[in-house]
Structure 1
Amino acid sequence: MFVVTLTYLTDLDRADAAMADHLAWVDRQYADGVFLASGRRVPRTGGVILAAGLDRADLDRRLATDPFAEQGIAGYEVVEFVAGRVAEGLEAIREG
């Protein structure tokens, strides 16, 4: 499982201009079953994605196709972890 943090590298006007394309890309990741949750950071300095069901190389390939990455709008930090404990109802995301 991965926690991905996006940090804007440009002003919000550029992020807003590319947001529709970014959200279409996010929708494709959900359709592929690899994104579990996503949203804006507070304050609005970027976003956060929870991803699973893929390896790091595949995740990196997918992140590189995000319009935010292609246009230099956001940088990405990826943290991999093993969910050893989860809340009731989320057992399917626990690994190992």
Structure 2
Amino acid sequence: MYIVLLKFDFNKSKAPQLMGAHNEWIKNGFEDGHFILVGSLKPGLGGAILVQNISREDLEERISADPFVAENVVKAEILEVEPSKVVPSLEFLVGSSKT
């Protein structure tokens, strides 16, 4: 499992014009079954994505296709997490990394 931090970068001002394409990219991540949570980093620092069932190599390729990343609106940081203990409703996360 991965946590992807998308922190605003030097082209933050381009975010409004790329928001539609970025939202489409997010939608595709959910449809493909890899994204399980997307949210904002507060206060106004960027975003975060919880990702499962994907190799790091494939995730890096997917992240580079994000229009926000490609246009330096955000800089991506990928954190790999191996869940070992979860509440029952999140048991599906244990063993969800494909590294």
TM-score by length of 2: 0.90
- The amino acid that maps onto 2:19 is M
For structure 1, list consecutive stretches of 5 or more residues without a partner in the other structure.
Answer: none
Q: 2:15, 2:68 within 8 Å by CA — same for their partners in 1?
A: yes
Q: Which residue does the alignment assign to 2:52? A: 52
Asked whether 1:87 is paired with 2:87, we answer yes
Q: 1:8, 1:15 within 8 Å by CA — same for their partners in 2?
A: no
Root mean square deviation of aligned Cα = 1.4
For structure 2, list consecutive stretches of 5 or more residues without a partner in the other structure.
Answer: none
SS in 2 for 1:53: coil
Q: Which residue does the alignment assign to 2:9? A: 9
SS in 2 for 1:90: helix
Residue 11 of structure 1 deviates from its aligned partner by 5.6
Residue 18 of structure 1 deviates from its aligned partner by 1.0
Q: Which residue does the alignment assign to 1:43? A: 43
Give the Cα separation in 1 of the matches to 2:59 and 2:11: 26
Give the Cα separation in 2 of the matches to 1:23 and 1:10: 20
Please list, as runs of the form range in 1=range in 2, the aligned pairs for 1:13-28 lying within 5 A after superposition: 13-28=13-28
TM-score by length of 1: 0.92
Residue 12 of structure 1 deviates from its aligned partner by 4.5
Could you tell me the percent identity over the aligned residues?
29
**What are the Cα deviations for residues 37-83 of structure 1, in whole angstroms up to 9, with x where unaligned?**
01111011110000010010000000000000111111011110111
